[in-house]
Amino acid sequence: MHVLSIDRSIIDAIVAHARRDHPDEACGVVAGAVGSDTPTRHIPMDNAARSMTFYEFDSMEHLRVWREMDDRDEEPVVIYHSHTATEAYPSRTDVSFAGEPGAHYLLVSTREPDSEEIRSFRIVDGVVTEEPVQIVEAGIDPHAVQSYMFGQSPATVDYECSGR
Amino acid sequence: MAIEVRIPTILRSYTGGAKVVEGAGDTLADLLTDLDSRHAGLRGRLVTEAGALHRFVNVYVNDEDVRFLGALDAKLSDGDSVTILPAVAGGAFGFAAAAAISSHSAAAAAISSHSAATAVAAR
Protein backbone atom coordinates (compact mmCIF):
# COMPACT_ATOMS: atom_id res chain seq x y z
CA MET A 1 0.00 0.00 0.00
CA HIS A 2 1.18 3.49 -0.83
CA VAL A 3 1.69 6.07 1.88
CA LEU A 4 2.28 9.78 1.44
CA SER A 5 5.10 10.71 3.80
CA ILE A 6 5.43 14.48 4.04
CA ASP A 7 7.15 16.94 6.32
CA ARG A 8 5.02 18.89 8.80
CA SER A 9 6.44 22.22 7.57
CA ILE A 10 5.24 21.49 3.98
CA ILE A 11 1.76 20.50 5.18
CA ASP A 12 1.62 23.71 7.23
CA ALA A 13 2.61 25.77 4.15
CA ILE A 14 -0.05 24.06 2.01
CA VAL A 15 -2.73 24.67 4.64
CA ALA A 16 -1.64 28.33 4.95
CA HIS A 17 -1.92 28.69 1.15
CA ALA A 18 -5.40 27.12 1.17
CA ARG A 19 -6.52 29.41 4.00
CA ARG A 20 -5.10 32.48 2.26
CA ASP A 21 -7.00 31.80 -0.98
CA HIS A 22 -10.24 30.67 0.72
CA PRO A 23 -13.06 30.82 -0.46
CA ASP A 24 -11.35 30.32 -3.84
CA GLU A 25 -9.65 27.00 -4.41
CA ALA A 26 -5.87 26.97 -3.99
CA CYS A 27 -3.53 24.67 -5.92
CA GLY A 28 0.12 23.77 -6.20
CA VAL A 29 2.84 21.19 -6.36
CA VAL A 30 5.43 19.66 -4.07
CA ALA A 31 8.44 18.59 -6.11
CA GLY A 32 10.89 15.88 -5.13
CA ALA A 33 13.84 14.05 -6.66
CA VAL A 34 12.82 11.69 -9.50
CA GLY A 35 12.03 8.24 -8.15
CA SER A 36 12.40 9.28 -4.50
CA ASP A 37 8.65 9.55 -3.77
CA THR A 38 9.71 12.23 -1.25
CA PRO A 39 8.14 15.69 -1.54
CA THR A 40 10.70 18.36 -0.62
CA ARG A 41 10.05 21.62 -2.50
CA HIS A 42 6.68 23.37 -2.08
CA ILE A 43 5.58 25.41 -5.10
CA PRO A 44 2.27 27.29 -4.63
CA MET A 45 0.67 27.88 -8.04
CA ASP A 46 -1.82 30.51 -9.20
CA ASN A 47 -5.35 29.27 -9.71
CA ALA A 48 -5.95 30.74 -13.18
CA ALA A 49 -9.67 29.98 -12.84
CA ARG A 50 -9.92 32.04 -9.58
CA SER A 51 -13.00 30.06 -8.68
CA MET A 52 -14.60 28.64 -5.54
CA THR A 53 -15.32 25.38 -7.37
CA PHE A 54 -12.61 24.97 -9.98
CA TYR A 55 -8.86 25.23 -10.29
CA GLU A 56 -6.50 25.27 -13.22
CA PHE A 57 -2.78 25.97 -13.36
CA ASP A 58 -1.83 29.01 -15.42
CA SER A 59 -0.40 27.52 -18.62
CA MET A 60 2.78 29.62 -18.66
CA GLU A 61 3.52 29.07 -14.97
CA HIS A 62 2.88 25.36 -15.54
CA LEU A 63 5.52 25.24 -18.32
CA ARG A 64 8.04 27.21 -16.28
CA VAL A 65 7.66 25.07 -13.16
CA TRP A 66 7.70 21.75 -15.07
CA ARG A 67 10.90 22.82 -16.92
CA GLU A 68 12.49 23.86 -13.66
CA MET A 69 11.69 20.44 -12.18
CA ASP A 70 13.17 18.78 -15.28
CA ASP A 71 16.38 20.82 -14.91
CA ARG A 72 16.67 19.80 -11.25
CA ASP A 73 15.86 16.12 -11.89
CA GLU A 74 12.64 16.51 -9.95
CA GLU A 75 9.09 15.41 -10.59
CA PRO A 76 5.71 16.45 -9.17
CA VAL A 77 5.50 14.10 -6.16
CA VAL A 78 2.41 15.86 -4.79
CA ILE A 79 -0.26 17.84 -6.66
CA TYR A 80 -2.58 19.54 -4.20
CA HIS A 81 -5.70 21.66 -4.25
CA SER A 82 -8.35 22.75 -1.81
CA HIS A 83 -12.09 22.22 -1.68
CA THR A 84 -13.54 25.17 0.16
CA ALA A 85 -17.12 24.03 0.86
CA THR A 86 -17.00 20.25 0.47
CA GLU A 87 -15.00 17.29 1.76
CA ALA A 88 -11.40 16.54 0.79
CA TYR A 89 -12.31 13.78 -1.65
CA PRO A 90 -11.67 13.88 -5.43
CA SER A 91 -14.70 15.08 -7.40
CA ARG A 92 -15.55 13.55 -10.75
CA THR A 93 -13.90 16.62 -12.26
CA ASP A 94 -10.70 15.88 -10.34
CA VAL A 95 -10.71 12.29 -11.54
CA SER A 96 -11.35 13.23 -15.16
CA PHE A 97 -8.47 15.66 -15.34
CA ALA A 98 -5.91 13.78 -13.25
CA GLY A 99 -2.99 13.62 -15.69
CA GLU A 100 -0.07 12.61 -13.50
CA PRO A 101 -0.44 8.90 -12.66
CA GLY A 102 2.71 8.94 -10.50
CA ALA A 103 1.61 11.82 -8.28
CA HIS A 104 -0.03 11.85 -4.87
CA TYR A 105 -3.18 13.97 -5.21
CA LEU A 106 -3.49 15.80 -1.90
CA LEU A 107 -6.78 17.48 -1.05
CA VAL A 108 -7.35 19.97 1.74
CA SER A 109 -10.82 20.99 2.81
CA THR A 110 -11.14 24.44 4.35
CA ARG A 111 -14.90 24.32 4.86
CA GLU A 112 -14.45 24.28 8.66
CA PRO A 113 -12.91 27.55 9.89
CA ASP A 114 -10.87 25.96 12.70
CA SER A 115 -9.73 22.61 11.30
CA GLU A 116 -8.60 21.15 8.02
CA GLU A 117 -9.31 17.78 6.51
CA ILE A 118 -6.19 16.54 4.68
CA ARG A 119 -6.37 13.41 2.54
CA SER A 120 -4.24 11.87 -0.20
CA PHE A 121 -5.15 9.78 -3.24
CA ARG A 122 -3.70 8.05 -6.25
CA ILE A 123 -5.73 8.65 -9.39
CA VAL A 124 -4.80 6.29 -12.22
CA ASP A 125 -6.98 5.62 -15.27
CA GLY A 126 -10.02 7.04 -13.52
CA VAL A 127 -9.59 4.87 -10.40
CA VAL A 128 -9.25 6.66 -7.05
CA THR A 129 -7.31 4.95 -4.25
CA GLU A 130 -6.98 6.64 -0.88
CA GLU A 131 -3.69 6.31 0.97
CA PRO A 132 -2.59 7.26 4.49
CA VAL A 133 -0.85 10.58 5.05
CA GLN A 134 2.19 10.25 7.29
CA ILE A 135 3.24 13.62 8.67
CA VAL A 136 6.90 13.68 9.62
CA GLU A 137 7.86 15.97 12.48
CA ALA A 138 11.35 16.68 11.16
CA GLY A 139 11.81 19.75 13.29
CA ILE A 140 11.44 17.80 16.53
CA ASP A 141 12.76 14.32 15.89
CA PRO A 142 13.12 12.79 12.42
CA HIS A 143 12.11 9.39 13.80
CA ALA A 144 8.97 10.61 15.49
CA VAL A 145 6.18 10.09 13.03
CA GLN A 146 2.47 10.68 13.35
CA SER A 147 0.22 8.68 11.07
CA TYR A 148 -3.18 9.85 9.99
CA MET A 149 -5.56 7.62 8.16
CA PHE A 150 -8.79 9.27 7.30
CA GLY A 151 -11.79 7.12 6.59
CA GLN A 152 -14.02 7.60 3.57
CA SER A 153 -16.44 9.78 5.47
CA PRO A 154 -15.47 12.74 7.61
CA ALA A 155 -17.84 11.40 10.27
CA THR A 156 -15.57 8.38 10.84
CA VAL A 157 -12.08 9.72 11.16
CA ASP A 158 -9.56 7.11 12.17
CA TYR A 159 -6.59 8.49 14.00
CA GLU A 160 -3.54 6.61 15.07
CA CYS A 161 -0.27 7.79 16.50
CA SER A 162 2.70 5.51 16.21
CA GLY A 163 5.55 6.57 18.43
CA ARG A 164 8.82 4.80 17.78
CA MET B 1 13.65 18.61 -40.89
CA ALA B 2 13.22 17.67 -37.27
CA ILE B 3 11.10 19.13 -34.52
CA GLU B 4 11.65 17.83 -31.02
CA VAL B 5 8.45 16.91 -29.19
CA ARG B 6 8.37 16.38 -25.43
CA ILE B 7 5.77 13.80 -24.39
CA PRO B 8 4.17 13.84 -20.91
CA THR B 9 4.14 10.66 -18.79
CA ILE B 10 0.46 9.97 -19.38
CA LEU B 11 0.90 9.87 -23.19
CA ARG B 12 4.10 7.81 -23.30
CA SER B 13 2.07 4.66 -23.87
CA TYR B 14 1.78 5.96 -27.46
CA THR B 15 5.53 6.48 -27.88
CA GLY B 16 6.83 3.21 -26.47
CA GLY B 17 7.78 5.02 -23.28
CA ALA B 18 9.87 7.67 -25.06
CA LYS B 19 9.99 11.05 -23.34
CA VAL B 20 11.12 12.87 -26.50
CA VAL B 21 10.23 12.03 -30.09
CA GLU B 22 10.93 13.78 -33.38
CA GLY B 23 8.53 14.83 -36.07
CA ALA B 24 8.11 17.14 -39.04
CA GLY B 25 5.54 19.63 -40.30
CA ASP B 26 5.02 23.25 -41.26
CA THR B 27 2.21 23.69 -38.74
CA LEU B 28 1.23 22.04 -35.46
CA ALA B 29 -1.61 20.24 -37.29
CA ASP B 30 0.90 18.80 -39.81
CA LEU B 31 3.25 17.77 -37.02
CA LEU B 32 0.50 15.93 -35.13
CA THR B 33 -0.54 14.10 -38.31
CA ASP B 34 3.09 13.13 -38.89
CA LEU B 35 3.47 11.91 -35.30
CA ASP B 36 0.25 9.93 -35.49
CA SER B 37 1.63 7.95 -38.46
CA ARG B 38 4.28 6.49 -36.13
CA HIS B 39 2.51 6.82 -32.77
CA ALA B 40 -1.07 5.86 -33.62
CA GLY B 41 -3.65 7.36 -31.28
CA LEU B 42 -1.53 10.23 -30.01
CA ARG B 43 -3.28 12.83 -32.17
CA GLY B 44 -6.69 11.71 -30.89
CA ARG B 45 -5.66 12.58 -27.33
CA LEU B 46 -4.79 16.14 -28.36
CA VAL B 47 -7.34 17.04 -31.03
CA THR B 48 -11.14 16.83 -30.70
CA GLU B 49 -13.38 15.13 -33.25
CA ALA B 50 -14.35 18.62 -34.37
CA GLY B 51 -10.70 19.21 -35.24
CA ALA B 52 -9.75 21.66 -32.49
CA LEU B 53 -7.05 21.41 -29.86
CA HIS B 54 -8.42 19.96 -26.62
CA ARG B 55 -9.18 22.66 -24.04
CA PHE B 56 -7.31 20.80 -21.30
CA VAL B 57 -4.11 19.97 -23.11
CA ASN B 58 -1.39 22.60 -23.16
CA VAL B 59 0.91 22.64 -26.17
CA TYR B 60 3.87 24.98 -26.35
CA VAL B 61 6.19 25.89 -29.22
CA ASN B 62 9.49 26.81 -27.61
CA ASP B 63 8.33 29.15 -24.81
CA GLU B 64 4.90 30.08 -26.18
CA ASP B 65 1.47 28.59 -25.54
CA VAL B 66 0.15 27.67 -29.02
CA ARG B 67 -3.20 29.25 -28.13
CA PHE B 68 -1.44 32.57 -28.71
CA LEU B 69 0.16 31.34 -31.96
CA GLY B 70 -2.94 30.19 -33.85
CA ALA B 71 -3.43 26.82 -32.09
CA LEU B 72 -3.28 24.01 -34.68
CA ASP B 73 -2.31 26.58 -37.34
CA ALA B 74 0.78 27.61 -35.38
CA LYS B 75 3.76 27.76 -37.74
CA LEU B 76 6.72 25.50 -37.01
CA SER B 77 10.33 25.62 -38.16
CA ASP B 78 13.12 23.09 -38.16
CA GLY B 79 14.75 23.05 -34.75
CA ASP B 80 11.64 24.14 -32.83
CA SER B 81 10.85 22.37 -29.60
CA VAL B 82 7.24 21.40 -28.90
CA THR B 83 6.15 20.54 -25.35
CA ILE B 84 2.87 18.82 -24.48
CA LEU B 85 1.53 19.05 -20.91
CA PRO B 86 -1.89 17.86 -19.79
CA ALA B 87 -3.54 20.77 -17.95
CA VAL B 88 -3.53 20.42 -14.18
CA ALA B 89 -7.13 21.20 -13.33
CA GLY B 90 -10.06 20.02 -11.27
CA GLY B 91 -12.09 21.19 -8.35
CA ALA B 92 -15.25 20.64 -6.41
CA PHE B 93 -17.54 21.69 -9.26
CA GLY B 94 -18.94 18.24 -9.97
CA PHE B 95 -20.86 18.70 -13.20
CA ALA B 96 -20.89 15.82 -15.64
CA ALA B 97 -17.15 15.59 -15.75
CA ALA B 98 -17.28 11.82 -15.82
CA ALA B 99 -18.39 12.26 -19.40
CA ALA B 100 -15.23 14.24 -20.00
CA ILE B 101 -13.19 11.07 -20.28
CA SER B 102 -15.16 10.00 -23.34
CA SER B 103 -16.21 13.37 -24.71
CA HIS B 104 -13.74 15.84 -23.41
CA SER B 105 -14.97 18.75 -25.51
CA ALA B 106 -18.47 18.90 -23.99
CA ALA B 107 -17.07 19.16 -20.47
CA ALA B 108 -14.47 21.63 -21.65
CA ALA B 109 -17.19 23.85 -23.07
CA ALA B 110 -19.12 23.60 -19.82
CA ILE B 111 -16.08 24.58 -17.81
CA SER B 112 -15.18 27.43 -20.14
CA SER B 113 -18.62 28.96 -19.80
CA HIS B 114 -18.53 28.34 -16.05
CA SER B 115 -15.13 30.02 -15.75
CA ALA B 116 -16.29 32.94 -17.86
CA ALA B 117 -19.37 33.31 -15.67
CA THR B 118 -17.36 33.33 -12.46
CA ALA B 119 -14.86 35.76 -14.00
CA VAL B 120 -17.70 38.14 -14.81
CA ALA B 121 -19.21 37.67 -11.37
CA ALA B 122 -15.86 38.50 -9.77
CA ARG B 123 -15.73 41.96 -11.36
- Supply the CATH number for residue A111's domain: 3.40.140.10
Count structural domains, chain A. 1
CB contact under 8 A, B91 and A79: no
Q: Which domain holds residue A19?
A: 7-126
Report yes or no: A13 at the B interface, CB cutoff 8 Å.
Answer: no
Domain assignment present for residue A109? The answer is: yes
Residues A53 and B118: their CA atoms lie apart, in Å, by: 10
Instruction: Look at the domain B3-88 and name its fold.
Output: Ubiquitin-like (UB roll) (3.10.20)
The answer to whether the beta carbons of residues A69 and A41 sit under 8 Å apart is no
Domain assignment present for residue A55? The answer is: yes
Over the stretch A47-88, which tens digit does the pLDDT of each residue have? 999 999 999 999 999 999 999 999 999 999 999 999 999 999
* Set of chain A residues whose Cβ sits within 8 Å of the Cβ of B83: 63
- Interface residues on B facing A, Cβ-Cβ cutoff 8 A: 8-10, 56, 58, 60, 63, 65, 67, 83, 85-98, 100-101, 107, 111, 114-115, 118-119, 122
Residues B86 and A63: their CA atoms lie apart, in Å, by: 11
Torsion A109-A110-A115-A116 (CA) sign: positive
Q: Which residue of A has its CA nearest to B95?
A: A93
Q: Provide, rounded to the nearest whole percent, the portion of chain A with pLDDT above 70.
A: 84
Interface predicted TM-score of the whole assembly (ipTM), two decimals: 0.79
Domain assignment present for residue A136? The answer is: no
Counting as low any pLDDT under 70, the low residues of chain B are 1, 94-123
